[in-house]
Amino acid sequence: MTKDIHSARADFPILKQSVNDHPLVYLDNAATTQKPQVAIDALVDYYTRLNANIHRGNHSLAVQATEAYEGARRKVAGYINAERNHEVIFTRGTTESVNLLAYTYGEKFVQAGDEVIVTQLEHHSNYVPWQQMCLRRRATFRILPFNEHGELDLALFERMLNEKTRLVAVNHVSNSLGTVNPVEEIIRLAHAHEVPVLVDAAQSVQHIAHDVQSMDADFYVFSGHKMYGPMGIGIFYGKEKWLEALPPFLSGGEMIDNVTPEKVTFNVLPYKFEAGTPNVAQAIGLGVAIDYLKQFDPLELQNYEEDLLTYGLNLLAEIPDLVIYGSPSHRSGILPFNVNGIQHYDMGVLLDTMGIAVRTGQHCTQPIMDALHISGTVRASLALYNSREDLEKLADGVRRIIKMLKR
Ligand code: PLP
């Protein structure tokens, strides 16, 4: 039996509070989602019952903590349908995962004159690490622009691919416009040139159907805190053949096999990429968040959130002087807008006085804002516990602010 989406809100204790004397309407989910009680309990339970350093210990707590941590890895691998558990590496989040690849792949596979392609829709976390790596390796940093709908042009992408292209990095869903990018097609085109692809799934893994094997992603990264799990834990998935070929990223304890003054040999996967004591409690918490998510029917979840998005965009579109950014044919989770004559920052502060949490500014996507010739947007973003009522309160709040400021 799958869980009813309408019952989800009750599982998130933080949503029961009032903010500025109004029941909280939390619409900043692209920044971070709230956590269900079960995921919060998992952290407390770990430190109450299980805490021990993992892998190296042979006492009971160390063995149990290790089993719980490795159990979490299996849950993640199952959730994204990785072929092997050791293709799942725990990191601190999407940003660290992208940096892991930019440093290791850059060192091993990118030479002067080579090219790396990212898109103009990327979050800085999937943009700056590639730009910096290209500078270090004297490679060319190429950017696939988006069109007037906020979509990528695949014909142009195909023309950009050539024998010098070493890697493509693209998000599945844009955190600023919500565009769902055709990553399967991008991967297919890149693979035709034997170019591997990194998919930044920070804004998609919690919203839309995903399967790294059918997608054929070479690398796939996301953050636990954006999918109802704890902060400080993220995932770097890579196909085994790539993980074997890449050098380690961080070095130190656990990632070694044998150390002498002259040389070191490295541990097997996944430990080769997990130097030092990992975020054990957070990994276990992420596993519990995945268990929580798996109670819902994934398609029902996706349809529910897409319905909600359309409902919210329609409500906003009726407001005079309100501009919605982008018109992609497939959008997920994000409502980006401004009201003519009102600063996005002011709109955010005033919505907060009504208990409505949204984000304002550039959303770590300055290239998008520059292309749109704006300094930022108001961004409402959705999660499974949001309702039509939340979006009605948002639209009503915006109308009241317009009235107040334009009187
Ligand atoms: N990529 C995308 C598309 C994002 O939306 C974000 C965060 O907003 C990131 C990467 C960075 O995630 P984190 O800060 O969890 O590392």
Are the C-beta atoms of residues 144 and 197 closer than 8 Å to each other? Answer: no
> Is 36 among the domain residues?
no
Boundaries of domain holding 353:
5-30+297-406
- Hey, is 309 helix, strand or coil? helix
Cα–Cα distances in angstroms (integers) from residue 121 to residues 177, 183, 309, in the given order: 8, 13, 20
Which atom of ligand 1 is closest in space to residue 226's alpha carbon?
15
136 and 9 assigned to the same domain:
no
Distance of CA 98 from the midpoint of ligand 1 (Å): 10
Task: State the Cα–Cα distance between residues 403 and 211, nearest whole angstrom.
Answer: 46
Q: Using the 3D structure, point to which of 227, 262, 293 is the last residue of a domain.
A: 293
pTM for this entry: 0.98
Residue with CA at minimum distance from ligand 1 atom 4:
202
Residue with CA at minimum distance from ligand 1 atom 6:
202
CATH code assigned at 379:
3.90.1150.10
287 and 326 assigned to the same domain:
no
Domains of the chain: total:
2
Distance linking the first and last C-alpha atoms of the chain: 53
pLDDT cut 90: percent of the chain above it: 98
Which residues are near ligand 1 (CB < 6 Å)? 30, 93-95, 123, 125-126, 171, 175, 200, 202-203, 223
Q: Using the 3D structure, point to which of 293, 328, 346 is the last residue of a domain.
A: 293
Active site residues: 364
Distance of CA 100 from the midpoint of ligand 1 (Å): 14
Beta strands in 107-260 (DSSP E): 115-119, 140-144, 165-171, 197-200, 219-223, 234-238, 256-259
Give the pLDDT score at 114: 98
266 and 331 assigned to the same domain:
no
- Hey, is 136 helix, strand or coil? helix
Tell me phi and psi for residue 387, to 5 degrees. Answer: -135, 170
Are the C-beta atoms of residues 76 and 88 closer than 8 Å to each other? Answer: yes
Give the pLDDT score at 256: 93
224 and 309 assigned to the same domain:
no
pLDDT cut 70: percent of the chain above it: 100
Distance of CA 402 from the midpoint of ligand 1 (Å): 31
Which atom of ligand 1 is closest in space to residue 364's alpha carbon?
8
255 and 222 assigned to the same domain:
yes
**pLDDT (tens digit per residue) in 381-407:** 999 999 999 999 999 999 999 999 976
Are the C-beta atoms of residues 202 and 169 closer than 8 Å to each other? Answer: no
Structure-token pair, residue 274: 């997990």
Task: State the Cα–Cα distance between residues 82 and 214, nearest whole angstrom.
Answer: 10
